[in-house]
Amino acid sequence: MSKKTTIVDIARTAGVSVSTVSRILNNKPDVAEETRQRVLRVIEDERFAPHITWQQLRTGKSRFIALHFPQDFNPPSQGIITNAALRCESAGYTLNLIVGPLDENELLTIFNSGQADAIVLVEILTHDWRVEVLREHDINFVMVGRCADTDGLSYVDSDIGAGVKDAMSHLVELGHRHIGFITLGEITPEKEYGFTAWARQGYRDSCLHHDLPLLWRTADLSNESVAAVTFDLLSQHPEITAVVTPQDSGVPGILKAIASKGLRIPDDISIVGLLDESVAEMMTPPLTALSFTSRELGFIAVDMLIAQLTGAETEPQQVLVGSTLQVRGSTGPARVTVPASLR
């Protein structure tokens, strides 16, 4: 086995003192540039430091890309992370995953300390403070999702608005005229996810287009809240013959409320959700659902960011990934009469 190169070896080969090498490794300014470059060449030749370290010293770039999740993971987000990491690796970058809430100082420290050159933001709020801070400090970033004002910003997002319109059109074709819509989470601009806002806009546009009443409710993120909100909606509007939710976590609570009302799917009520294909097919009856390829979002986001970093792309890139409506057994023709359990 070859002898491991030490800082003493680097100093001897470069013809400088050990303290000079140490100052260069710690990026101290009090070293002549000619000396710095000579030592860095020796470090590179001897492979003394990890590739990332000497690359950062030579170029001022870490070749790290951060990805920030402010909340806990969900199944779609895991696909985003995995594929973002794979794309980073194939391009010679390392993904630095950051999970949990950050404040402004913590966010900026990621870049000031050299932990990352750029960042992918996930779980975008309608008015997201992270976007404003990064834009103000001219830091490269890409959103997986959309805020309200996307002017001059790069993002990749699921086109949930178009997906909801497809679901509504499917139900209208089956004769449904009273369609409930259940979303989850806060609805204030500072706390509402952009995904939810765009989904709700798709529902509103569909109701306007088809001349349908707006029967929308929001619940918090628990199954109990979704079930209670759905139960109340069905009680207040027994004429509802179908329910749509654009969030996978809303499906269990809606099903619980429907069961509590003694309704049969799809004879008494139809339901459309957003759910992974393998899960939707295992339900009884199989769930008619919108399907997105969340894995694709991670690839595209990293590609956009690398294009920014390398100068290959100077204009904002905005990509919407379409959905597929998979029609299964949970949707059928609208019933003609109100079930006894709703009277």
- Candidates 3.30.470.20, 3.40.50.2300, 3.10.20.90, 3.40.50.300; CATH matching 160-292+326-342: 3.40.50.2300
Q: What is the DSSP string of 170-218?
A: HHHHTT---EEEEEES--STTTSBHHHHHHHHHHHHHHHHHT---EEEE
CA distance 223 to 229: 10
Alpha helices in the chain (DSSP H): 7-14, 18-25, 33-46, 51-59, 75-90, 104-112, 129-136, 160-173, 194-210, 223-236, 251-260, 277-282, 294-310
| One pLDDT digit (tens) per residue for the chain, 343 residues | 345 566 778 888 889 887 787 777 766 777 888 898 898 888 777 766 544 454 554 555 668 899 998 875 555 677 888 889 889 988 888 888 888 889 999 999 888 877 889 999 999 999 999 999 999 999 999 999 999 999 999 999 999 999 999 999 999 999 999 999 999 887 776 788 888 999 999 999 999 999 999 999 999 888 899 999 999 999 999 999 999 999 888 899 999 999 999 999 999 999 999 887 888 888 989 999 998 877 789 999 999 999 999 888 789 999 999 989 999 999 999 998 887 777 6
**What's the CATH class of domain 64-158+294-322?**
alpha beta
Q: Where in the chain is the domain with CATH 3.40.50.2300?
A: 64-158+294-322, 160-292+326-342
Contact by Cβ (8 Å): 57, 27: yes
Backbone angles phi, psi at 35, to 5 degrees: -65, -45
- Candidates 1.10.540.10, 3.40.640.10, 1.10.260.40, 2.40.30.10; CATH matching 7-59: 1.10.260.40
- Predicted pLDDT of residue 61: 64
Residue recorded with tokens 């002549």: 32
- Predicted pLDDT of residue 9: 80
Q: Where in the chain is the domain with CATH 1.10.260.40?
A: 7-59
**Residue 73 burial (CB count, 10 A):** 12
Q: What is the DSSP string of 57-95?
A: HHHS---EEEEEESS---HHHHHHHHHHHHHHHHTT-EE
